[in-house]
C-alpha cells in the first residue's frame, strides 16, 4: 500500500477484541496466541489493523492477559493494551478498549483477534465504503454456505435495518445467508454515546455491541453493510479443527501467491510456507517441504523433498534435500543433504557441501569445502577447499567449556579422525585417517596420531576356540599352507 493510500485511510483508532477464554481450544495457551501461517493470530490482527495507520491501536485482553500482553510488547510495542476484567460481552470489551484511549475524533474500527485471514486491504476498503456512503456505522458482512449460529443481516434498502441473532430469528429471517462478521466502522461520537447507553437487559445479561448499532439507527444515523465476497476472511477460530482449517487456507493462499510469482510447488498438499518467507523466481519446492520464520530462498534454488528450513537464508542455485536447517546461511550453489542437520550459527560457503548424516553447529564452512559424510562439526571455522573425511568428529566440549577448531584452506582431514578443540589445522596440511589431534598442525605437515599396529598370532585359536571365526581362520590358514607347499 502506498503512503498516500495510508494517509487517506488513516482512522482515529482500532479496537481489537482479544479477551475471550477460548475454552473450546482446550489449551493452556491463550487462543489468540495460537499460530496461523507461522504467526500468532493476534499478530495477524495487528498487522491488518496497521494497514489503517490508526492514531491509536488498542488490544483488549482478558484470559491469559499476561502472556498476550508480553507477546504484544515484543512484536508490536506501539499497541496499547486494555483489560476486560470480566467477559461480559462485546460491548463491554469495546468499553474497556475505549477507556484506555485518549479523546477520539473520526472513525473507530472494531475487529477481532481470532479472524486470521482478514487482510489490511479489506479493512481499508471497509473504511472507504463507510466514508463514501456517509455512514454512522458500517458493518462488514458476508454470505456464507452455512449461516447457522451467526447474526443475520436484515436490510432495508441499502441500509442495515437490524441484526437478528440465531436464537431470536423467525424462519424467514434465519433463511438469510448474509451474516454479521463482527467487524465494524463507527463514527467515534456515535460509538462513545452508544457504549455509554448499553444495558444488560437481555437473556445473557451481557453488553452487546450490536445494540450500539440499533441505538445509532434509532437516532437517525445511517447504518450500512459492506458485503465482502471473500467470506473466508470473516471466519473465526474457536477450536483446533477451525485452527487447522484456517492454517490450510492461509497456506493455500500463500502458495498460490508464490506460484504466480514464478515459484514451482510440485505438491501444494504437502508443502507449507509461512507468511514471512520470501522466495525468488525459479525456486522449486519439492514434496514434504516446510519453510518457516523469516526464511529466504534465492533464485534457482531447490528445496526438498522432506526438508524443513526455519529462519534460513539460501543462496542462488543451492540444493537442500531431506534435511533440517535452522538459523543458518547456505551459500550460492551449495548442497545440503540428504539427512543433514544444520543447527544455528552454521554458514555454508559458495559451492560448499554438507552431506549425508552430518550435523553442524556454529560452523563457518568456506567456499568449496566439503563435509560429505557422517560428521559432527561444531564450533568450527573451515577455510576454502577443505575436505573432511567420513566419520570425523570435532570434539568441541570438554564438559565445562566449548572451544573452536580451525581448519585452514585446502587442508585434508582423513576419515574417522577426532579434532580435539581448541586446535588449529594450518592451511595446506593433512591429518591421517584415524588420528586424534590434540595439538596444532603446521602448514604442509602430515599429522599422524594413532597407535602402532600389532598383529598377535594365534589369538583367535586361543581365545575363541570352536567359534565360526575360529573355523574360518583355520580354513584360511590351511588354504595358505597348501598354497605355500605348492610353490
Walk me through the domains of the chain, giving residue ranges and CATH numbers: 3-234 (3.90.550.10), 254-447 (2.160.10.10)
Quick one: which of 340, 278, 357 has its CA closest to 313?
A: 278
The SS3 call for residue 374 is coil
**Three-class SS of 199-215:** CCCCCCCCCCCHHHHHH
Distance CA 127, CA 462 (A): 93
Does the CA dihedral 457-460-462-466 come out positive or negative?
A: negative
Report pLDDT for 169.
87
Report pLDDT for 484.
76
Rounded to a whole number, what is the distance in angstroms from the first to the last CA of the chain? 92
Q: What is the dihedral of CA 224, 182, 108, 79, to 10 degrees?
A: -160
| Maximum distance among all Cα pairs of the chain, rounded to whole angstroms | 121
Detail the DSSP E strand segments found in 194-321: 223-227, 264-265, 272-273, 278-279, 284-285, 290-292, 296-297, 302-303, 308-310, 313-314, 319-320
373 carries an active-site annotation: yes
Q: How many CB atoms lie within 10 A of CB 470?
A: 15
Per-residue cell: 378: 561444531
Mean pLDDT, consecutive 10-residue stretches, the chain (487 aa), reads 50 97 94 98 98 97 96 97 92 95 94 98 97 97 94 93 88 94 97 90 82 92 97 97 98 98 98 98 98 98 98 98 98 98 98 98 98 97 98 96 97 98 97 97 96 92 95 94 77
Amino acid at each position: 500500500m502506498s503512503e498516500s493510500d495510508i494517509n487517506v485511510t488513516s482512522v482515529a483508532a482500532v479496537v481489537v477484541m482479544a479477551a475471550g477464554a477460548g475454552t473450546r481450544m482446550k489449551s493452556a495457551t491463550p487462543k489468540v496466541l495460537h499460530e496461523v501461517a507461522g504467526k500468532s493470530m493476534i499478530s495477524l490482527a495487528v498487522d491488518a489493523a496497521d494497514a489503517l495507520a490508526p492514531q491509536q491501536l488498542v488490544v483488549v485482553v482478558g484470559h491469559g492477559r499476561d502472556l498476550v500482553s508480553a507477546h504484544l510488547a515484543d512484536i508490536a510495542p506501539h499497541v496499547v493494551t486494555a483489560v476486560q476484567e470480566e467477559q461480559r460481552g462485546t460491548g463491554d470489551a469495546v468499553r474497556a478498549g475505549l477507556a484506555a484511549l485518549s479523546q477520539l475524533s473520526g472513525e473507530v474500527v472494531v475487529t477481532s483477534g481470532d479472524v486470521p485471514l482478514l487482510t489490511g486491504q479489506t479493512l481499508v476498503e471497509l473504511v472507504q465504503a463507510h466514508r463514501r456512503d456517509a455512514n454512522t456505522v458500517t458493518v462488514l458482512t458476508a454470505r456464507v454456505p452455512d449461516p447457522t449460529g451467526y447474526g443475520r443481516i436484515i436490510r432495508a434498502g441499502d441500509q442495515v435495518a437490524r441484526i437478528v441473532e440465531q436464537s431470536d430469528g423467525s424462519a424467514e429471517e434465519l433463511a438469510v445467508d448474509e451474516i454479521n462478521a463482527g467487524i465494524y466502522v463507527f463514527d467515534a461520537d456515535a460509538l462513545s454515546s452508544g457504549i455509554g447507553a448499553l444495558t444488560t437487559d437481555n437473556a445473557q445479561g451481557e453488553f452487546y455491541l450490536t445494540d450500539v448499532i440499533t441505538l445509532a439507527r434509532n437516532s437517525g444515523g445511517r447504518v450500512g453493510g459492506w458485503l465482502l465476497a471473500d467470506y473466508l476472511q470473516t471466519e473465526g477460530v474457536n477450536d483446533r479443527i477451525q485452527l487447522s482449517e484456517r492454517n490450510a487456507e492461509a497456506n493455500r493462499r500463500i502458495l498460490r501467491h508464490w506460484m504466480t510469482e514464478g515459484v514451482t510447488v510440485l505438491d501444494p498438499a504437502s508443502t507449507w510456507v509461512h507468511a514471512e518467507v520470501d522466495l525468488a523466481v525459479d525456486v522449486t519446492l519439492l514434496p514434504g517441504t516446510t519453510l518457516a520464520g523469516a526464511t529466504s530462498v534465492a533464485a534457482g534454488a531447490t528445496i526438498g523433498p522432506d526438508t524443513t528450513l526455519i529462519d534460513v537464508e539460501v543462496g542462488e542455485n543451492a540444493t537442500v534435500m531431506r534435511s533440517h536447517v535452522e538459523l543458518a546461511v547456505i551459500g550460492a550453489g551449495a548442497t545440503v543433504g540428504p539427512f543433514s542437520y544444520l543447527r544455528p550459527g552454521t554458514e555454508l560457503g559458495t559451492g560448499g557441501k554438507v552431506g549425508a548424516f552430518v550435523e553442524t553447529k556454529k560452523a563457518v564452512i568456506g567456499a568449496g569445502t566439503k563435509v560429505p559424510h557422517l560428521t559432527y562439526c561444531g564450533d568450527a571455522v573451515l577455510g576454502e577447499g577443505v575436505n573432511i573425511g567420513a566419520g570425523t568428529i570435532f570434539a568441541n566440549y570438554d564438559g565445562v567449556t566449548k572451544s573452536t577448531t580451525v581448519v585452514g584452506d585446502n587442508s585434508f582431514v582423513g576419515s574417522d579422525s577426532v579434532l580435539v578443540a581448541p586446535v588449529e589445522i594450518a592451511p595446506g596440511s593433512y591429518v591421517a585417517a584415524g588420528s586424534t589431534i590434540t595439538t596444532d598442525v603446521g602448514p604442509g605437515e602430515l599429522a599422524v596420531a594413532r597407535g602402532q599396529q600389532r598383529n598377535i598370532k594365534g589369538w583367535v585359536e586361543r581365545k575363541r576356540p570352536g567359534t565360526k571365526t575360529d573355523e574360518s581362520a583355520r580354513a584360511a590358514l590351511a588354504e595358505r599352507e597348501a598354497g605355500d607347499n605348492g610353490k
